[in-house]
Structure 1
Amino acid sequence: MAAGIGAADGGLALLSDGGPGGRWSHVATAPDRIHVGAVEADLFAPLRDPAWGAGTVGLAAYDAGARAATGDRPQVWPDLILARYPAMLSFDHLQRRVCAIGRGATASQAEAAAVRAAGWLAAAITPETPAAPAEAFVAEADDQAYRDAVAAVVARIAAGELFQANIARAWGGELKPQADPFDVFLRLQQGRASPYGAFWRIGDRALVSNSPELFLAFDGEDRRIEARPIKGTRARSADPVEDAALAAELQASAKDRAENLMIVDLMRNDLARASRVGSVAVERLFAIESHPTVHHLVSTVVGRAEPGVTPADLLAATFPPGSITGAPKHQAMKVIADLEPPRGAWCGSLFILEEDRGLTASVLIRTAAFERRGGRWSFRTLAGAGIVADSDPQAELAETEVKISALKRALVGQQSEQVMTVASRGFR
């Protein structure tokens, strides 16, 4: 379905695997209102305008949320992008049905939008898997630079400065002259939709995400808030016995459980800022979630929002996501800024506003950001690891390679020899 609108400005596909928390997928195009820009103080202030209601999709950049801790940083992506979609197709994986949704100032406008959305089904095509759209996947720094950054964080933890920081490394490149970011999305999602997969194009920017991580789900009617932070990773094996052993090893790992628990505590604190006293709880701790290339250790933190709390309030209280910062959160963001160039869209959040003031927001891991210059698309993507007191620099480096593997294959196929090419930018 999404292939029919992928090339359009404003084209949107939020595709779920239909698993836990991923009941809905959405397809849309032709937004009737767009905001792209910087926000000086309250990052989510634009969302407080009632005009940004259900059907609004937004992207908040990581650097915008970290600015209070890190000070002025070069802006490599807009702080906040919003688009409102009057027409949308929403796919319910649980009930196996599709809804053509129309919204408008009048009943006739809403009906016309719903008819327009229904028409997209008639135009749906089955896409072919495109060839690898990029020729190179260029590391911004060499392996040793990342190992040094990990060692620096371990030393700062030993000095009592913090407990954990998520440190990332970056890659970039250009797509071939006739290639498009939507090609990357098709290759990434072919036959194995991720829980929070996404494609979004606004003007000369596009985003492709293969994220498995829920940042926030908010039911505006019963006031339930849910966060599912990921901390702890193992590569998967083609051998079923070895694969099961790897998952069991991850779940039993004292290091990974400690890393996960730190972020659970952080998320409890963040959710408490917008929740009723006594309502924040850990619903599930150290569960294994398995994806095509990795096993993850996932916990679930829930709360009940205070009366009057809006999606904008909830995002403001919790952004950026704790799982990709560290603990204590403010200090971890300072350490990240000391060691990394700006992150841009990566590890920010992509979100959709739903009926009854609901919200679903993902963490933008396994995500590439694209910009078009002179008719050709460039890309940048990152992968990180949570660094704790007993982290081994080489093991953390290997973890980033596992995490980036699916996106790398979507971009350059099996041309793994390209990965080690080093560009001039690096850690500092």
Structure 2
Amino acid sequence: MKLPVVHIRTLDWCEPLAVAAGLNRREGALALLAGAGDPGAHGGRWSFVGCEPDRILVGPVDDGEAFKALRHTDFSGGGVVGLMSYDAGARPATGRRGEVWPDLMLARYSALLAFDHATGEVLAVGRGADTADAGAQARRAESWLVEALEPVIPSAPAGDFTGEAAPEAYEAAVADVVARIAAGELFQANIARAWSGRLQAGRDPFEVFARLSAERGAAYGAFWRMGERALVSNSPELFLTFDAVSGRIETRPIKGTRPRHDDPARDIELAAALTASAKDRAENLMIVDLMRNDLARAATPGTVRVERLFEVESHPTVHHLVSTVTATARPDVDVADVLEATFPPGSITGAPKHQAMKVIAGHEAPRGPWCGSLFGLGLAGDQRLTASVLIRTAAFVRDGAGWSWRGQAGAGIVADSDPRDEREETEAKIRALKEALTGA
């Protein structure tokens, strides 16, 4: 297979949100913006902006090989962004349910801007069949810099934020899962609530993204417009990275949450309580073990390691407990294999994963993109995959009356979960998105 030629032009710095604002109404408008978080593409070090991809695939996938399209020559040479819905990955456990979002969305960007926050440089990355074609694509990406707009924080664009079920219904669902755990059916399941509404007439999903990015951007913030659909994500969670050159795989599951507090002393106490919580540590450890097992399917035997366990990460509205698991891929493993072995992410399913997904389906409508994954492959001219978990995410669909939206938040339910506490955790997790949509 012949890989495309890559041409990179190094340019002076420009704020990626400003460039994204200038391109956001174009087809395929893409912004992956690094916010708070650890360095790594694209969480902390890299941001990416682009538009008008030259190859697009949107549609269903085979239940057994959801990611096989990544082996196609159109999408195996880098510059690729993809979104796999949660429901596509859960289907082997749940069967086919009502479709609320395409299984898979893939786009190849022959021109991209990569913003290196560590060096303060912008890379115009072009791909093509030959040197001349790749150079022309890099120059096309460079031309986007002159269209940058001064970022303006818009007013809240949504007039409503409506729960799809009563809070009591969620607490009842939690109680049911606790009972199932006590009966030995499973150990943990991530159960979610959903909210939905419409944007005001004439308002646009990019305004929600601008509000989130300007005020409390997360490590894996994302905006993606494809046809009559748009995605806005303020996710702090890395699903996994995979470096095809070194073979290193890394995943960083989040389990355990406390709300932030305006009083600094109380905020420190909440973080300390999270660290000390036996319940939250046990919840996190279950998913660490699950992810170790998932990575082992693609790893060289003996290389799976837990590098960090129970670290507290503090975000604008919550503290999270995060662990890091790594492995070295087998020589015969490719990007599709790594994703097949691990999707959907263990942190938003439960343990055992197959049974947890069945239990989730009994309590929730189809999730759509929420708790699926948004991933980039070779965006900076390299051979690196970075995939986020689509939490803190809203999905938008446009019809004749404008844009409707839907967002969710969940909590990991274990044997000693308290239904009210878990409900309040979902409200802390949805807070940033609610404020960006409604200002409330």
Q: TM-score band (shorter)?
A: over 0.9
- 1:289–1:295: 8 Å Cα contact kept in structure 2? yes
Structure 2 counterpart of 1:156, from 174, 177, 180 = 180
Map of 1:33 onto structure 2: 55
Where in structure 2 are the equivalents of 1:342-381 lying within 5 Å?
342-354=366-378, 355-381=381-407
Map of 1:405 onto structure 2: 431
Secondary structure in 1 matching 2:216: coil
Map of 1:8 onto structure 2: 26
Structure 2 gaps of 5+ residues are 1-18
Map of 1:279 onto structure 2: 303
Secondary structure in 1 matching 2:31: strand
- Partner AA of 1:179 in structure 2: R
Structure 1 counterpart of 2:89, from 57, 61, 65 = 65
Structure 1, 38-47 or 3-12: larger mean CA deviation: 38-47
User: How far apart are the structure 2 equivalents of 1:135 and 1:341?
Assistant: 24
User: How far apart are the structure 2 equivalents of 1:299 and 1:152?
Assistant: 28
Q: Quickly say closer, same or farther: Cα 1:156–1:18, change in 2 above 3 A.
A: closer
- 2:37–2:218: 8 Å Cα contact kept in structure 1? no
Structure 2 counterpart of 1:50, from 67, 70, 73 = 73
Structure 1, 205-214 or 115-124: larger mean CA deviation: 115-124
Map of 2:261 onto structure 1: 237
- Partner AA of 1:363 in structure 2: V
Where in structure 2 are the equivalents of 1:197-208 lying within 5 Å?
197-208=221-232
Q: CA deviation at 1:192?
A: 3.2
- 2:205–2:396: 8 Å Cα contact kept in structure 1? yes
- 2:256–2:321: 8 Å Cα contact kept in structure 1? yes
Secondary structure in 2 matching 1:379: strand
- Partner AA of 2:421 in structure 1: A
Secondary structure in 1 matching 2:134: helix
Deviations 1:114-150 (A, max 9, x none): 0111111122111211111110001100001000000
Map of 1:423 onto structure 2: none
User: How far apart are the structure 1 equivalents of 2:154 and 2:27?
Assistant: 20
Deviations 1:26-68 (A, max 9, x none): 0000100100000123111111112202110000000000000
- Partner AA of 1:159 in structure 2: A
Q: CA deviation at 1:357?
A: 3.3
- Partner AA of 1:98 in structure 2: V
- Partner AA of 1:29 in structure 2: C
Off by >4 Å, runs of 4+ in structure 1: none
Structure 1, 384-393 or 239-248: larger mean CA deviation: 239-248
Q: CA deviation at 1:6?
A: 1.0
Structure 1 gaps of 5+ residues are 415-428
Deviations 1:312-336 (A, max 9, x none): 1100110000000000000000000
Secondary structure in 2 matching 1:103: strand
CA RMSD across the alignment: 0.9
Q: CA deviation at 1:109?
A: 1.3
Map of 2:14 onto structure 1: none
Deviations 1:329-349 (A, max 9, x none): 000000000111100000000
Q: CA deviation at 1:310?
A: 1.1
Map of 1:418 onto structure 2: none
| Number of corresponding residues | 414
- Partner AA of 1:38 in structure 2: P
Secondary structure in 2 matching 1:190: helix
- 1:383–1:403: 8 Å Cα contact kept in structure 2? yes
Give me the TM-score of the superposition, normalised by structure 1. Answer: 0.95
- Partner AA of 1:40 in structure 2: D
User: How far apart are the structure 2 equivalents of 1:375 and 1:206?
Assistant: 16
